[in-house]
Amino acid sequence: MWHYLMGLVGLWTLLRLIRERQVVSHLQDKHVFITGCDSGFGNLLARKLDRRGMKVLAACLTEKGAEELRNNTSKRLETVILDVTKTESIVAATQWVKERVGNRGLWGLVNNAGISIPSTLNAFLKKEDFAKILDVNLLGVIEVTLNMMSLVRKAKGRVVNVSSILGRLCLFGGGYCISKYGVEAFSDSIRRELSYFGVKVAIIEPGFFQTAISSSDRHLSHNKMLWDQASSEVKEIYDEKFLSSYETRIKLLDKLSSKDLSLVTDCMEHALTSRHPRIRYSAGWDAKLFYIPVSYLPTRLADVILFWTSTKPENTL
């Protein structure tokens, strides 16, 4: 009996590998628009797809980032300045893309732009601190997608949204985890809607990686600033021991973070070039072997596993 079961599992695995290795034809004729290409995942993906011969349309926040990217890629790659928090910037970028893709439409849309600061204890934050992250990580993704949707439909192409394992498990306060939960929900909704038009939507769920937006030094510096600005009432409730425990957790996550960004961009590339992309991609061994399995556990058990190092106030059970 076990031999038959193992044989079926082996056959299923082999068929899946063969299926996922099938590549879309005429990649050199396809345009891919990527947000957040100044650094990190977006920058690396733009360079990888350019080397592969695809027509990359890279959106950067700054002219400096755009210039550096152009200097490290072929003449095929084109850049545009985009602020995903501003409607007029998104509309202008959409028109710029239309002029380049013409009647072929846009094969790939990669919503990669994101920020992570401020992320700290919720008591230190105000509504506008949450809104700052949501404007980029969630509302920016939504508005860019809505503007580019007709171009992707025309090409029967792909939408690739960068979420996070923090879209499954909330490990700290602030708008970052909230925004990634929202990206997961939005991705599911447009995946079902756009499937009628032959468009495929993939979600990338990276674990912890060392990028510009995840720098622990920046997080800790900003955390200290928020602590200094906090009211005396907040400081009395959340004493420095509580804050120290939180900062210890941030430092630990940074030490465990991977430097190999290609683990994420390989998933993005597969989602754009495979004939049979996955719906969700987990990137990084911490995501595959720890965070995603923990996300399926009962909530109370997951809380114990994730926050066993936390210091609790004395009056908390």
List, by residue number, the catalytic residues.
Answer: 176
Inter-residue contact 281 to 204 (CB < 8 Å): yes
- Torsion angle of the four alpha carbons 182, 185, 189, 191, in this order, in degrees rounded to the nearest 10: 100
Task: Report how far Cα 101 is from the mean position of its chain's Cα atoms.
Answer: 25
Q: Angle at Cα 136 formed by Cα 130 and Cα 138, nearest 5°?
A: 80
Respond yes or no on whether the N-terminal peptide bond of residue 118 is cis (omega within 30° of 0).
yes
E strand or H helix at 152: helix 140-155
Residue 179, sorted as left (phi over 0), alpha (psi -120 to 50) or beta, turns out to be alpha
Q: Pick from 31, 25, 24: which is nearest to 50 by CA?
A: 31
C-alpha distances in angstroms, 298 versus 113, 205, 293, 303, 305? Answer: 32, 21, 11, 9, 11
